[in-house]
Chains A and B, each alone.
Chain A
Amino acid sequence: MAGDTLKVYGNAARNTAQGLIDIAIEAAATNNPHLKAASPIIKEKTELPRFEYQSEMYNRDITGKVNKDGITLGKVAETAVELSAPVIGGKVSTAVKTPETLQSLGALPNAKVRQTANAVENIISDPILAKSDDIASKPVQTIKNKFPDEPMPTAVTDKAKIIGVAEIVEGKIKVNGQLPRYVDFVVDIDGKLILGNKHHLLGNANDVQAAGRMKINNGKVAEINNLSGHYQPSVEEAMKFPEILRKLGLDLNRTHFRVFAFESTPSGNLNGFPTAVHREFLK
């Protein structure tokens, strides 16, 4: 998987480190003897970080593997548990816990706290990861909201709804709640994929990287386009949507991609109907 379709950059690495800390905290909280003794150590600083866990209980290594679903700790014995921590694409949480925070939580002994914190700092300061972090977090493009000063639409008068921020799991979309077949979407500047109804609300009136509609079937993105009256992505901007969405981890294989051209009046309103100018099934 490494070097192939894996999309783990600096943000993911940070999340991974965060996940390791969380596991350690959970281990401490649950008093699991197998995990209490484990702490993460950076074994290899690469774009696709690998981790080694030292288990004092078993006196052997546990290899942590990073993939798009998270990190998975291999089983070390029948009694050991298998854990995973989510690696969420897009903007990383910057709430990396400091040694002081960890200590205040009573999560780990001092030595382990320091070791864990060092691991996190190593990831963050690693030049390779920092570089890839730039790639991951830098917006591909900025599409302006054509009507930023308009009042925010409401559920009652404008039928506006936010369904949620998508979590990408194995290339598919997951949200807390129900997903209809067709939704409006935006990818904001921070790389969050937000689903619902009414782009002005989804983008919070701000600029975005992508805006349009999606057809979603069983979590798989079946269709995307650039139909958004508030953002009116140009054909050139729309052609970058697959790149933007793939960067989030979405599987767009066989996705029907359609691009519309907008003709606007000087006031920004659409002059007539958007015209379909491009369509393809993505590979």
Chain B
Amino acid sequence: MILEENLSQSIYNAYINEGVGKDFFAKFAAEVAEVNAIEFLVANFKTFDDKYNLELMLCLPQIWDSFQIDDWLELMKTVGSRANQIKSFEFNGEFIDVQFLCKYLEIDGLDLCLNYSQISLEDKQIVLEYAKANVFDFVKNTLDYQDLDTEYEDLNNEIDKNYYAIDLKRLKEIKYNLLSDTRAKEFPTVEEAAVDYVNEIYRHKQYLQISR
């Protein structure tokens, strides 16, 4: 884990000063490929905020794009205990695993987390609280689609198409690969449906248990 922590720290230190976006992260691709992907991601999630982690995920997708459901579950387990009271000065990246699955891969990361026996009941409740409060960040909005859609016609010249290293087409491919695992199901892609879905789970949160 020390190797992964050191690498994540050195990338972050260079971030912004030496660049941003996919071209910046690509410079570290070879080094990242040499370390444990799950431990590398956890080192980032635990140390840096969600803004940075989201960029890391979308700019260096080779870290996670071959993950199977078991890998995602292992990632959720390795993240371990998550803060249930955000400190005054931190919006951390501890929920990026669940959120990224739901938002970008349209896989129900919340369901996977809540039904995974290796995650404590307390952490499941915290994840559910986070999802309820931030459900709008669990689905892509118009701007996200524009960012990721290589065919979107940017009439106003407002989008840097070369910022992220992954597009909608590739995200869909990964999604359908994950869906071949019967434990995976789709997460709602429409905001209203996502709100209803998360609220429904929340209403029954007393039934959360260690099940799978």
Count, A-B residue pairs, CB within 8 A? 104
Contact check, B134 vs A217: say whether CB atoms are below 8 A apart. Answer: no
The 10 A-B pairs with the shortest beta carbon distances in the complex, nearest first, are A273-B133, A182-B51, A220-B158, A180-B20, A229-B88, A178-B20, A218-B160, A275-B133, A229-B89, A270-B86
Contact with B along A128-165 (1 / 0, CB 8 A): 00000000000000000011001001000011010100
Contact B86 A180 (CB under 8 A): no
- Tell me whether A153 and B16 are in contact in the complex, defined as CB-CB below 8 angstroms, given that A215-B143, A217-B147, A258-B136 are known contacts: no
Q: Are A181 and B55 in contact (CB under 8 A)?
A: yes
- Note all chain B residues with C-beta closer than 8 A to A273: 86, 129-130, 133-134
Q: Which residue of B lies closest to A146 (CB)?
A: B88
Are B147 and A271 interface neighbours, CB within 8 A?
no
In the bound complex, residues from chain A placing their C-beta under 8 Å from that of B52 are: 159, 180
Chain A: which residue is nearest B86 at the CB level? A270
Q: Does A222 contact B (CB under 8 A)?
A: yes
Known A217-B147, A274-B133, A276-B134; contact A230-B89, beta-carbon cutoff 8 A: yes
Flag whether B203 is at the interface (Cβ < 8 A): no
Verify A256–B141 contact, CB threshold 8 A. Answer: yes
Is B158 within 8 A of A222, CB to CB? yes
Taking CB atoms, residues of chain B closer than 8 Å to A229 are 86-91
The answer to whether the Cβ of B117 comes within 8 Å of any Cβ in the partner chain is no
Chain B residues with CB under 8 Å of chain A are 12, 15-17, 19-21, 24, 47-49, 51-52, 54-55, 84-91, 129-130, 133-136, 141-143, 147, 156-160, 163
- How far apart are the CA atoms of A151 and B134 in the complex, in Å? 29
How far does the alpha carbon of A276 sit from the alpha carbon of B139 in the complex, in Å?
Answer: 14
Interface membership of A110, Cβ < 8 A: no
Chain A residues near B55 (CB-CB < 8 A) = 180-182
Instruction: List the B side residues contacting A178 at CB < 8 Å.
Output: 16-17, 19-20, 24
Residue from B84, B129, B136 within 8 A of A279 (CB atoms)? B136
Separation of A215 and B90 alpha carbons in the complex (Å): 18
**In the complex, what's the smallest C-beta–C-beta distance from A268 to chain B, in angstroms?**
6
A160 to chain B, nearest CB (A): 10
Q: Taking A180-B51, A269-B85, A273-B130 as contacts, is the C-beta distance between A218 and B159 under 8 angstroms? A: yes
Q: Is A248 an interface residue (CB 8 A)?
A: no
Say whether, besides A182-B55, A272-B133, A273-B134, A159 and B49 are in contact (CB < 8 Å): yes
A112 at the interface (CB under 8 A from B): no
CB pair A270 B136 closer than 8 Å = no
In the complex, whether A197 has a CB less than 8 A from a CB of chain B is yes
Of residues 3 through 19 on chain A, the ones whose CB sits less than 8 Å from some CB of chain B are: none
Tell whether, in the assembled complex, residue A200 and residue B16 are in contact, meaning their CB atoms are under 8 Å apart.
no
Q: Are A268 and B88 in contact (CB under 8 A)?
A: yes
Q: Kindly list chain B residues whose C-beta atoms are within 8 Å of the C-beta of A198.
A: 89
Contacts of B17 on A, CB cut-off 8 Å? 178
